Chains A and B, each alone.
Chain A
C-alpha cells in the first residue's frame, strides 16, 4: 500500500450559500449511480502543488457524495524525488538534462511501486505522469481490471520527446485521459477518449475566506503595505517564467503618474532550479531600490492568508507571463472581485475575458495602459470585479469540477469491464 492521505471530512452542504440548492441536488443526482464506487487517486506529492490542493479539497467532497474515494501518494526517496522533478520539468517543457541513469531510477521506482499496489479499486486515477507506468508493471493482471484513468495536470505541448516516449506506450493502454485544456495535449495523438476538466478553486478555502477590512489593513500593514494607498500585485513564483521583472517594469511606469502606488510581489515559490537564482537576486535588487515595492516570500512563512489579503486589497492583479499550466490562482483573485491583467498564455484566456473580467496584454506598454485605466476608473473595476466573480462561480469553482468529475466516472464505469 502507498501512503494514505488522511483528510478531514467535509460536507457539500457548506457550499449551499455559494452555489445554491439546485447545483447541489444536481451533484447528488450525478453521484447516485456511483455510490460505494471505490476510487483511488494516486499522486506524487501530498501537498505543495496545485494537484495536491485540488485533491485535498475534492476527495472529501466525493466521499460526502457517497463514493469510497481515497488518495494515496506513491513511495519515493531522495533519488526518485529528484528524478521525478526532472521528469516533470522535461514534460512541462523545461530544462531537465534527462539521462539514462534517470531512466533507470524511474524504471526501478515504477517497478517498486507496482509491487506495493495491493488493493482492489473500481477506478484508479493517476494524477501525475511520473507513476503512470505502474499499471504496466503490475505483477497480477487482475489488478489491471480497474478502470485506469490518467488525469494530467500539466501542459504537455512542449514536452521533451525522449521523456514522453518513456511514458507514452504505458499511457496509451489506459482507459481514458483527462486534461485541463485541449492545447495541453500538444502533438500527442491518441485514440482514447479525452475529457477536458479545467481545474478549480475552493471558495471555502482559507485563501478565499472573507476577512474583515480591519484585519486586512492591520495584517498587510505588518508587511509594510498601506491599505489607504492603491496596490497592485503579482502572485507567482519569482522566476523568469512568470516574468517578475516585467511586473516591476509595469510598476515603474505606473509610478511616474501615480507616485502613491504600491506593488506586492507575492513569491509563492522560490526557484528550484539554481540557475534561476541570479534572476531572483535581480528581482530582489530592483525591489530594494523601489519605494512602495514589496516582496512577500513563502520562505518567510507568507501563507494563504497573505495571498488572500493581497488579492483582496489590490486594485488589480497581474500575471506578466505564464510559461506552463493553467494558472488557476488567477481565479482566486477574480473570485475576490479583483480584475486580472494577464498575458494570454496557458489557461489564462479562459479565466481572463478581455474587457469583462480583466484585460489581456502582452507588452509592458499594454500592461501599463490597462492597469492605469483600472487605477483611474474605480467604477469599471467594480464592474469587472462583479463579472469576474460570476465567471469563476460558473466555471472555476469546486462544484463545477466535481460535476465534471462525476460525469467522467459515470461514463467510464458504465462501460463493461474487459
Chain B
C-alpha cells in the first residue's frame, strides 16, 4: 500500500443550501450505480498546492455519496521530488536540462510504488505526471494489466511543454483508459489511446477559505492588521513572482489613490521559505510599497492563513488578479465566490471565469486595470451587482460539487453505466460547454 492521507469527513447534504436541491439530488442519483465502487486517488503530496486542496474535499464527498474512495500518496525520496519538480516545470514550458539519469530516478520510484501497490480497485485516478508510470510498472511487474479502469488526471498546462520531456512521458500516459485535462485547449493533440475528458478545477464553498464568516470576525481581523474597514480596500491574493505582477498592482493602487485618497491595498502571498526567487520578489514588492502604510503586505510566513485570506477578500470592494500568465487562476474563483468583482489579466483560465463587464473586467495593462478599479470604486451599486453575478457564475460552474458530478459522469462512462461518447471525443459537462 502507498501512504494513506487523512481527510475530514464531509456531507453532501451540507451543500444543499449552497447549490440547491436539484444539483444535490442529481449527484445522489448519479452516484447510485457506483455504490461501493472502490476508487483510489494517487498524487505526490498530501498537503499544500491546488491538487491536495481539491482532493481533501472531493475524496470525502465521494465517500459520502457512497463510493469507497481513498486517497494515497506515493512514497519517494528527496531525489525523486527534485527530479519531479524539474519534470513539472519543463512540462509547463520552462527549459530544463533533462538527463537520462533523471528518467532513471523517476522510473525507479514509480516501480517501487508499483511494488507497494497491493490492492485492487475499480478505478484508479493518478494525478499529474509524478506517479504516471505506476501503471506501466505494474503491467511490467505482473505481466498483465492491473484490475480496474485507470485514469490520468493532468492538472497542469502542458501547452508549451518541452517536447523531449512530453515525448518521453507520452507512452506512459497513453496506456491509461482515460485522461482528464483542466481546459479544452490543454489537451495534447498527439495523445492517442485514452478517452479524453475536460474537468476544470473547483473550489469548496464550505472550506475555511471560502465559507461565510461573521462580519465582526472580519472586522477584528482587519483591525489586527491595522486595516480600516471603513475605508475602501482593494486586494490581490497571489504569489510574489513576475507572473502575478505584484509591482503592477502597487502601480494600479497608486493611480487609483490619486482619485480615491483613502484607498487601501492588501497584498497576500503564500511563500515557501526555501524559494529564493519568491523572496527576491517579496523584497522588490516591499520596496515598491515604501513607507505607504495604506499598503499591507502579508504572507503565510507571518501567520496569515485561510481565514484571513477569506476575510481580506470579503473586506475588499474590488479584487485584482493582475496575472500576466496563469494556469486556471483559482484565486480568481475564490474572489468571485465572495461576491466581489474581479479585475484580472486576460490570460490562461481567467477569461473562462470572468465575463468581461458582467462579473469583473479583463485587462491587459496597468492603466486599464486602474481605470476599471476606479470605475468599480466610483460605482458601488454596479460593483455590488457584478459581485452578485460573479457568485452565481461560480455557483454554476466552479464549485467542488460540480467537480464531483463530473467525476461521477466519467466513472459511469468508464464502467459502461452510461454509453461512451464516440471514440476519443471530448466529453464536456453540458453546463461547462456554455462557458467555453
Contact = CB atoms under 8 A, between A and B. Distances in A.
Interface of A: 3, 6, 8-9, 45, 47-48, 52-53, 56, 77-78, 81, 204-207, 209-212, 214-215, 218-219, 222-225, 267, 270, 272, 274, 277-278, 281, 284-285, 287-290, 293-295, 297-307
A195 to B, nearest CB: 27
Given A209-B220, A212-B217, A218 B211 contact: yes
Interface string B276-313: 10000001001001010100000111111111110000
Contacts of A205: 224, 303
Contacts of A45: 273
Contact of A300 (B53, B75, B81): B53
A39 B149 CA distance: 66
Contact of A274 (B9, B77, B209, B220): B77
A81 B306 contact: no
A212 B214 contact: yes
Interface of B: 3-10, 46-49, 52-53, 56, 73, 75, 77-78, 81, 206-209, 211, 213-214, 216-217, 220-221, 224-226, 270, 273-274, 276, 283, 286, 289, 291, 293, 299-309
Contacts of B307: 219, 303, 305-306
A219 B56 CA distance: 16
Nearest to B4: A288
Given A81-B276, A270-B47, A299-B47, A294 B8 contact: yes
Given A9-B293, A299-B52, 20 more contacts: A6-B286, A47-B302, A78-B276, A81-B276, A206-B224, A206-B303, A211-B217, A222-B206, A225-B8, A274-B77, A274-B78, A281-B3, A284-B46, A297-B47, A297-B48, A301-B305, A302-B305, A303-B305, A304-B303, A304-B304
29 contacts: A3-B283, A48-B302, A52-B302, A53-B302, A56-B302, A77-B276, A206-B303, A206-B308, A209-B224, A215-B214, A215-B216, A218-B214, A219-B307, A222-B211, A224-B8, A281-B73, A284-B5, A285-B3, A287-B6, A294-B8, A300-B52, A300-B53, A300-B56, A302-B306, A303-B305, A304-B304, A306-B305, A306-B307, A307-B303
B5 to A, nearest CB: 6
Contacts of B52: 299-300
A219 B9 contact: no
Nearest to A273: B78
Question: Top 5 closest A-B pairs, CB basis?
Answer: A303-B305, A224-B8, A299-B48, A304-B303, A274-B78
A284 B3 contact: yes
A78 B274 CA distance: 8
Contacts of B73: 281
B307 to A, nearest CB: 4
Given A3-B283, A209-B224, A300-B56, A284 B304 contact: no
A293 B6 CA distance: 9
Contacts of B221: 206, 305
A6 B283 CA distance: 11
A244 B211 CA distance: 30
B188 to A, nearest CB: 30
B375 to A, nearest CB: 30
Contacts of B293: 8-9
A218 to B, nearest CB: 7
Given A305-B307, A306-B305, A284 B4 contact: yes
B3 A303 contact: no
A60 to B, nearest CB: 10
Contacts of B209: 301
B13 to A, nearest CB: 14
A274 B10 CA distance: 32
A81 B286 contact: no
Given A285-B4, A305-B305, A306-B208, A219 B213 contact: yes
A298 B46 CA distance: 12
A204 B8 CA distance: 31
A45 B220 CA distance: 28
Contact of A306 (B48, B78, B224, B306): B306
